[in-house]
Structure 1
């Protein structure tokens, strides 16, 4: 009877001791990949989406096309402005046309004939006026016609000299500046027009497509979200009591439970979590107010294919 009681007490003591001893839970982490998003630069309605979730796209691939009618209208306006400015610049550089030169030459000859006739009339009238054979009123009329003919000839000669000299360089520079300004506006509109197409700028495995065809995509809204291929890494949180054992470059082994696979990794970076993370831990082996650090682990073998690993799946640190 006494022996049975002793055995019962001993077993009870062992059970109490076992229950009171803290169970050390293995350090766990998560599988992560670098995230990337593609967004439109202009607002437009989605006409067509060329990819599906799960596809891997490469730089230059067209992901979707938007309908932006405002850009189409501005493109037509800018094209018209460029044509007008180019014509003005060409006109300034070329100067008068051949027909304009012929017309001005004929006008100059006609004005010259009028001037010669007025000059002869003036000389005859002046001689008669000097001899008292012409009234002053008549002489004044002849002199006025002569002066007007001379002024008209001077004006036509000035026009001809301008044509011979060509367009002033100030006019040519002004026309050239207007042409360049119009070309700049056209280029700006063409860039906006090209933004109708959402083009991949990086390699990406598409995880989610936020909108569907027919919906309105606003500028800056992340339309395609996914991961950069071959960017798999691992992240885990370690308390300050153990962080000294995870120096940068140290190699360790992780177990991926859902596929029962070991992966060799090395510590790439260690950073302290924000103060709000220093709270009561759910694990018995972590203490209240203990600081925590985030450890980023990357594969030791850069050539190891980890593309198929599921993001946010759990991993366990093997000691």
Structure 2
């Protein structure tokens, strides 16, 4: 009986030791990372069509989604109308009055001159009669008032004809040019908004998450697509201050995949300090909690096209 107990205890001890050996924590444990890409819209609209799926790989410039922005068409019509009106004002300022406008003002001026001549004759006639007391003071004042009005009308029309034949004032042309520039700027703004109805991939990337579905409203700045930039892999290691002096930017390392046993020649490109509450790559770090923590950003320098990596998968530094 004691023999069986001894055998059982021995077997259990061996299994326990093997288990402990397999669960051993390595202080140089890190994670596989990819540069993230977020795609959002500058303007709001309803999602009309989504052209990609989660997990799909796309190229830079591919259309990811289309939005429905009905305000764009209405604003475009307004901008086109403003441009047409502004061009008309500028042409009028450049060309001055037309022959028809000059002929029209000449006709008005001739009519006013005829009225002035008649008013002058009437005034002269009544002035002699007024001296002979044949008309009242009121009758004479009325004729004099009509004469003054006729003179003012002729003077005003003469000044107007002089202005339109002399040419447009520079201030009027500058005003017309400013209105045209403003209308053209409004059109460019509308064209920019029209381009925003298509969400375009900013880089070669894999689509990881799609936040909304077709028919939902996308607000400005809200991220619709999240993904990882293709060929942007790097490795992230957290190192305590007691070990950080073993590393420096530019130093080459060998990163080991503990599952496939593949090795990747890499180089440290950045070292930065992490906050105490930051994400640590080792779940049970072998260092004092009072130590400062640093992050190594390590990028491959060898060809990894034949290797397969998954985000946040564990990798080790080979000594």
TM-score, structure 1 as length reference: 0.76
Matches within 5 A, 1:1-319: 25-26=25-26, 27-116=28-117, 135=134, 147-276=148-277, 283=284, 285-301=286-302, 304-305=304-305, 308-319=308-319
Matches of 1:99 and 1:83 in 2, distance apart?
A: 22
CA distance in 2, matches of 1:237, 1:139: 109
User: How far did 1:211 drift?
Assistant: 1.8
Residue 5 of structure 1 is matched in structure 2 by none
Q: Which moved more, 1:77-86 or 1:197-206?
A: 77-86
Measured against aligned partners, the alpha-carbon deviations of 1:96-137 in whole angstroms (never above 9, x if no partner) come to 3332222222222333344455556767887x779x889466
Q: Using the TM superposition, name which of 270-279 and 58-67 deviates more.
A: 270-279
8 Å contact kept, 2:126–2:135: no
What does the per-residue CA deviation read over 1:233-263, in whole Å, with 9 as the maximum and x for residues that have no partner? Answer: 1112233343332232222222213333111
**8 A Cα contact 1:65 1:197, kept in partner:** yes
Tell me which residue corresponds to 1:4.
none
Q: Secondary structure at the match of 2:209?
A: strand
Q: Which entry has the higher C-alpha Rg, 1 or 2?
A: 1
Whether contact under 8 Å (1:278, 1:288) holds in the other structure is no
1:51 is paired with a residue whose SS is coil
| 1:261 to 1:158, Cα distance in 2 relative to 1, 3 A | same
Partner of 2:3: none
Instruction: Report the Cα offset of residue 33 of structure 1.
Output: 0.9
Tell me: CA distance 1:70–1:239, structure 2 relative to 1, closer, same or farther (3 Å). Answer: same
Q: 1:307 to 1:79 in 2, by over 3 A?
A: farther
Q: Taking structure 1 as reference, are residues 43 and 308 closer, same or farther at Cα in structure 2, changes over 3 Å only?
A: farther
Q: Deviations over 1:57-108 (max 9, x none)?
A: 3443322111122333333333333333333333344333332222222222
Secondary structure in structure 2 of the residue aligned to 1:79: helix
1:164 CA drift (Å): 0.9
Range with bigger deviation, 79-88 or 244-253: 79-88
Deviations 1:189-219 (A, max 9, x none): 3322321111223332222222221122111
Q: CA deviation at 1:284?
A: 8.6
Q: Kindly state the Cα deviation for residue 297 of structure 1 after the two structures are TM-superposed.
A: 1.2
The count of aligned residue pairs is 300
Identify unmatched segments of 5+ residues in structure 1.
Answer: 1-7
C-alpha distance 140-56 of structure 1, shift in aligned 2 (>3 A):
same
Instruction: Report the TM-score when normalising by structure 2.
Output: 0.76
Secondary structure of the corresponding residue to residue 192 of structure 2 = helix
Q: How many Å apart are 1:223 and its aligned residue? A: 0.9
CA contact (8 A) 1:278 1:292 kept: no
